Every structure is written in C-alpha cells, then in structure tokens.
C-alpha cells in the first residue's frame, strides 16, 4: 500500500489560503505524508512532491528501581529485579552487567512487559549493575539511575505444606539452637508480600541475605549453612510488607 493510498484529509474544494490546519489529533510518533495540487478554471494541476512529518512523541517516564536495594550484598539467587510501574509504558528494557559501562551486557531484554524480571543464575560473589528504561509505544525514555548488587548463593526455600493459610505474620525461633553448622528458620505469611530475610552479626553488620523476593501466602523454611562464619551470636531479621521482626541464634563450633 502506498503512503498516500488512504487519505486522512482530502480537501477537494478550493482553499483561499496557502495553508491548512489539521483540526483533530494525530498519533504521536507516526509518520504522515502530505501533498498539494492547485486548481484553476481549467481544472486541477499535478500533485506536488509528497513530504512527510511526525508529531512529537511524549517523553517516556523513567522507572524507579525498588529491589534489590542499591548495594545489596549476597542476594540469594535466583534474583528478581523489581521497579515501579510507569504510566503509559508498553515495555521495558532491562540491562544487567558486571561492568558499570554495560559493554558486554549479561542481560539485555527489550521486551519486558511487566515491572519485574527474574534473572538467570549469576556468578556468586560478583558485583552486578542494572538499569531500566521505558518505551511508551512511541520512543525509548532515558535510563534509570544505575544500581548494584552482589550475587549470592542459590538458597533453597522449601514450602511446608499446610491445609490453611496462616492467620498472621510469624517469624519462629530457629532450630536447632545452638547449632553447628546449619539451622532452619521458619516464617509464615498470611498474604503475599515482598520478603527479605537477612543474617546480621553482633555488630549489626549484614553478612548474608537468605531471601529477597516476592512470596505468596504460606509457611516457609530456609536452611542457613554457617560453615563459613565463626562461632558467636547472630541475628536473623525478616521484613515482609508491614511486618518486621528480629530473633537471636547462637552458632557453636
């Protein structure tokens, strides 16, 4: 089909002025073609050459990164990236790389339809950088700020089957306690929430992130293998929606 095969505007009567204003909105980012011919008492003349124009595109919004938090350490794999929804977004471009200049791009997906993405398994202990941009169906927007995280181990989270959904958020005491070298931490979610479960030493320093992902309602258990840390008192902290709680445990080797 030729560019002018379907006329949007066709003024067959004479116009007194050498100009015309289109009185209805055109689609931003779409190419439109136009041409003109004159008419006198002897009839119409030939068409001018066709020119084209494109109405301005509205700027695409910049996503707000949410998780993992910037600078997060030992983020349990598989890692889920989350960012805020952008109005009018039709798709997102997600880039992840261990180079802050994004020269190699471990991940470069331009067709992410929702505001989250689960990453493939990354190299443990390596720092990764990530950024997002939005397409509004017309053009790409600017990149978000660059955030970073350190990929951690692949930690198995096992759902303990229950007949009923828990009635409240709960963080139970780990077992066994004291322990050597592994212990089980159990928690319950009455509704879906984004969950972080972290291990801190007695100085309050975070030494490992066991969970950092959205989770559905249910009861869960996580095994922490403390083979790589010295004996002592440790704290495990959960944040799940409005719920936050910290408990103490003791590693004895």
pLDDT, averaged across the chain? 87
Residue-wise pLDDT for 16-71, tens only, equals 667 778 777 777 778 889 888 887 777 788 899 999 887 777 889 999 999 999 99
Please give the tally of structural domains in the chain: 3
User: CA nearest 132: which of 87, 85, 196, 77?
Assistant: 85
The per-residue pLDDT for 1 is: 43
* Residues 123 and 49 placed together within one structural domain of the fold: no
Domain that holds residue 208: 157-251
Contacts of 16 (CB under 8 A, 6+ apart): none
Is the CB of residue 96 less than 8 Å from the CB of residue 119?
yes
Per-residue pLDDT, averaged over 97-125, amounts to 92
* Residues 163 and 223 placed together within one structural domain of the fold: yes
Domain boundary among 136, 154, 172: 154
* Residues 170 and 246 placed together within one structural domain of the fold: yes
Domain boundary among 18, 36, 56: 56
Q: Is 146 exposed, middle or buried (0-12, 13-18, 19+ CB in 10 A)?
A: middle
Residue-wise pLDDT for 160-182, tens only, equals 656 578 999 999 999 999 999 99
* pTM score of the predicted model: 0.52
Domain boundary among 154, 186, 216: 154
Is the CB of residue 186 less than 8 Å from the CB of residue 220?
yes
* Residues 161 and 243 placed together within one structural domain of the fold: yes
Give the CATH number, domain containing residue 115.
2.60.40.10
Which range has the worst mean pLDDT, 27-41, 52-66, 123-137, 235-249? 27-41
Residue-wise pLDDT for 174-219, tens only, equals 999 999 999 999 999 999 888 899 999 999 999 888 887 778 888 9
User: CA nearest 112: which of 139, 142, 133, 88?
Assistant: 133
What is the rounded CA–CA span in Å between residue 197 and residue 110? 31
């Amino acid at each position: 089909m030729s560019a002018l095969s379907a006329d949007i505007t066709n003024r067959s009567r004479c116009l007194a002025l050498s100009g015309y204003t289109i009185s209805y909105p055109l689609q931003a980012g779409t190419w439109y073609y136009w041409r003109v011919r004159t008419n006198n008492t002897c009839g119409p003349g030939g068409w001018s050459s066709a020119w084209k124009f494109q109405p301005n595109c509205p700027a695409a919004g910049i996503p707000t990164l949410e998780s993992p938090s910037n600078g997060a350490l030992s983020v349990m794999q598989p890692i889920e990236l989350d960012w805020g929804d952008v109005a009018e977004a039709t798709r997102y471009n997600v880039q992840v790389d261990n180079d802050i200049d994004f020269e190699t791009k471990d991940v470069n997906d331009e067709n992410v339809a929702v505001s989250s993405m689960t990453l493939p398994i990354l190299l443990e202990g390596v720092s990764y950088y990530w950024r997002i941009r939005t397409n509004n169906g017309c053009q790409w927007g600017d990149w978000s700020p660059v955030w970073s995280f350190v990929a951690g181990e692949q930690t198995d989270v096992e759902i303990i089957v229950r007949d009923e959904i828990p009635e409240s958020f709960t963080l139970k005491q780990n077992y066994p306690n004291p322990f050597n070298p592994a212990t089980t931490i159990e928690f319950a979610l009455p509704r879906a929430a984004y969950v972080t479960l972290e291990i801190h030493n007695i100085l309050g320093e975070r030494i490992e992130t066991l969970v950092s992902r959205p989770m559905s309602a249910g009861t869960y258990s996580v095994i922490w293998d403390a083979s790589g840390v010295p004996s002592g008192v440790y704290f495990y902290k959960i944040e799940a929606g409005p719920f936050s709680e910290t408990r103490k445990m003791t590693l004895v080797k």
